[in-house]
Amino acid sequence: MEDAKPEMIFLTVTWAADRTHFSLLNHSLQLSALNSVPHHVVVQHEDLELFRNFADTRTCFYSSQEVLPEVVEKRRNGARFWQRRLGRSATRISGSLARHINWPDWVRYTGWHTQQLTKLAFVAASEVDTVVVMDSDVIVTPHAGTADFLNPGKIVCYRDERPGNSLRGKVLHWQQTACRLLGDPFVAGATFDGYYDTPFVMHAPTVRALLASLEQRYDQPWWLTLVQQPPRQWSEFGIYKQFLRSHQSEPVDWRGADIMGYLFDAQDINHLARRFADLIEQQQSHCITIHSQSSGRQLWTADAYVDAIRRELETAYASL
């Protein structure tokens, strides 16, 4: 007899630099009330062996080669070559050039972009309707449960309403691009939705409809339409949300993101551990993100604080 289809699955798209972050996410899921939910993890092909020891009956691993179209995977590897050869500063300059003069093309296939394509491709192929995307830097707390992501008969989606006069920078670009791609007017309002973090709940049938809509509108593969956008000025979550709001008829359970906690500064490990414990104990956060700097200025790494956070996490679960 076949196993019953799960109500939802988790999806993480990751790479070698976030392996320590992923170890915390994996450990927190094992401790949590969500430990029976299947966790699907897509790793950049060259890094897959580094994650094999995390595999178990609940956690399945895939190579980016298995998920991305062959041509995208090939171009991702080409972009990886140029990133290593040129370094971070020259890569950033190349991205700026591509936004203004549409060259060089390889920067459109860097990891940040292809991870977004991977999420969309995996969700579109999912037989389970509810796919909860969790980046590697998320940690699940004892307060989390399936009700955080499911509402029978409705599509769950988190949002963070913020004052409209603070809409600028990358989020402004993401929202403008989403509207332009879907043929919707962009109107700056009194508020805007600033939630682009994970956990991010995606509804597989809606993602399939979105990608079909892009292919019909632009008469080419959906992924090509996305990578043709100015580098770093499009967001898979922003495009999905705009489609969810304006281009489908199923009811949506829009939820505030107050159960999500965030930590941005990990320079002082003792302070970080205290703030982490406070988010669990006092603020009742269901998920906490300690933002990864794996592609940033490297002010700190997860290796420096992983043991301290693991101790606080285990203490929180032991006190239940």
β-pair type (161-163, 138-140):
unpaired
Which ranges of the chain would DSSP assign to H, the alpha helix? 19-31, 64-67, 70-101, 111-124, 169-181, 204-218, 222-227, 236-246, 269-281, 302-318
- Please work out, in degrees rounded to the nearest 5, the angle formed at the alpha carbon of residue 80 by the alpha carbons of 77 and 85: 130
Q: What is the DSSP letter of 151?
A: B
Show me where the domains of the chain are located. 8-258
DSSP string, 254-300: EEE-TTEEEE---SSHHHHHHHHHHHHHTS--SEEEE---TTTT-S-
> Is the torsion defined by CA of 163, 167, 213, 255 positive or negative?
negative
pLDDT tens-place values along the chain, 320 residues long: 456 889 999 999 999 999 999 999 999 999 999 999 999 999 999 999 999 999 999 999 999 999 999 999 999 999 998 988 888 888 888 888 888 888 899 999 999 999 999 999 999 999 999 999 999 999 999 999 999 999 999 999 999 999 999 999 999 999 999 999 999 999 888 899 999 999 999 999 999 999 999 999 999 999 999 999 999 999 999 999 999 999 999 999 999 999 999 998 888 999 999 999 999 999 999 999 998 764 445 567 899 999 999 999 999 999 87
- Looking at 3.40.50, 3.40.1350, 3.40.1710, 3.90.550, the CATH number of the domain 8-258 comes to 3.90.550
Q: In whole angstroms, give the CA distance from residue 181 to residue 120.
A: 16
Tokens of 128: 């389970």
3-state SS, one letter per residue, for 242-256: HHHHHCCCCCEEEEE
Give Cβ neighbours of residue 116 (< 8 Å, ≥ 6 apart).
226, 234, 235, 236
- Looking from the CA of 168 toward its CB, the CA atoms found within 13 Å total 2
